Amino acid sequence: MQSVSQKRGFTLIELLVVIAIISLFSSIVLSSLSLAQAKARDSRRLTDLRQIVNAIELYRSNNSSYPSTSGSWWGNCAGFGSRATSGATAYVPNVAPTYIKVLPTDPKPIAPNNCYLYSSNGSDYMIMAYGTVETYSSANNPAPRPFDTNEADFAFYTAGAAQW
């Protein structure tokens, strides 16, 4: 009497199908995670800018003017002076550490010219996340820069600075 031996296991095709399905699911999960991380960074950018605005307004209430950059754009990235995050040489001068502990920096700077920027002539100001917004287009931007319809920068500003 011959015994029939049955082989247990999976065929190569079955293993390849399972690997392909797992790869597909992992790519879907990773792309969703990447989008969630980008949205979280954009949310942080808005929060950072609002905190800076509060500090700027506190400075103004004590000094009767906004911290001035003489109308120049100051930032903490290489393209805009690599300014500090505290003190008189900070990208918003003389605000930190008195009105805010330290000026925040962008959670993921994309290029040497993309960062938080500030400009003021003393009577008006604009603070913005320049070139780093990841998930908003200019059409759905919660804090748009008024004249710039091509960029999705977040900007907070006084009425006199709207056209900067």
137-163 average pLDDT score: 82
Which tokens sit at 33? 């995670």
129-145 residue pLDDT tens: 998 889 887 777 888 87
- The DSSP letter of residue 158 is -
Q: What is the largest CA-CA distance in the chain?
A: 105
The residue ranges of every structural domain in the chain are 13-161
99-126 residue pLDDT tens: 999 999 999 877 888 899 999 999 999 9
CA angle 101, 105, 109 (to 5 degrees): 175
Which tokens sit at 49? 């800018």
Neighbouring CB atoms inside 10 A of 104's CB total: 18
Per-residue pLDDT band for 149 (boundaries 50, 70, 90) equals: low
Which residue did the predictor score with more confidence, 103 or 153?
A: 103
In Å, how far are 15, 30, 33 from 20, measured between CA atoms?
9, 15, 20
